Amino acid sequence: MTPRSRTNQLLYQAELLLDTLPGDDEHAEARRMAAEEGALALFELALQSLLREVTEHARLERHEWRELLGPEGAGIAELHRLRELAARPDSWLAWLVVRLEALHSSDGVARRTSGAAAGLIAVGNATALGDELRWCLAEAKAELAALRETSQEW
């Protein structure tokens, strides 16, 4: 499988997980949360694969996203573009980086949607993680074409 195919496969699998119906039994909420965190984990693998794909010409030894997108990352045009994107708070990549950090924390990133604790006021306009993740995946896929084109020029 080519790096491009692997990136596409991982993005597709993340979308499939988000489309999994949680059911309506006592485990539905946990199942939804597992699907959201699983999709986010697959998205992280897709980001790694994308970075490998667009830096293939540079023959880098490592493709860890924290390193490549950090200030000490390689001076490759595609990485520079992604670093700028990650620095924009309203971008899909900035959103993704924050959620990936939360995913690796002990609290995780998925939250319960029902059964709010007594005494708390529910916020009606909070967007579900799954919906935000769908938006992020769509934005990332739109960005892929431009990144791949720049990478192929090398």
pLDDT band at 15 (very low <50, low <70, confident <90, very high): very high
Mark 77-100 as b/e (b = at least 16 C-beta within 10 Å): ebbebbeebbeeeebbbebbbebb
Distance, in Å, from the CA atom of 52 to the CA atom of 45, rounded to the nearest integer, reads 11
Q: Is pLDDT at 91 greater than 90 in this prediction?
A: yes
Distance, in Å, from the CA atom of 30 to the CA atom of 62, rounded to the nearest integer, reads 35
- For the stretch 28-71, pLDDT in tens is 999 999 999 999 999 999 999 999 888 877 777 777 899 989 88
CA–CA distance from 24 to each of 39, 76, 133 (Å)?
A: 20, 48, 22
Q: Is pLDDT at 7 greater than 80 in this prediction?
A: yes
Query: Are 92 and 139 in contact, with CB atoms under 8 Å apart?
Result: yes
* pLDDT score, position 115: 54
pLDDT band at 147 (very low <50, low <70, confident <90, very high): confident
Q: Is pLDDT at 6 greater than 70 in this prediction?
A: yes
* Crossing angle (nearest 10°) for helices 129-152 and 28-54: 10
pLDDT band at 113 (very low <50, low <70, confident <90, very high): confident
Q: Is 78 left (phi over 0), alpha (psi -120 to 50) or beta?
A: alpha
pLDDT band at 74 (very low <50, low <70, confident <90, very high): confident
Structure tokens at 22: 């949680």
Average pLDDT over residues 108-112: 87
pLDDT band at 126 (very low <50, low <70, confident <90, very high): low
Residue with tokens 């990936």: 100
Q: What is the mean pLDDT of the chain?
A: 86
pTM of the model: 0.86
Q: How many residues does the chain have?
A: 154
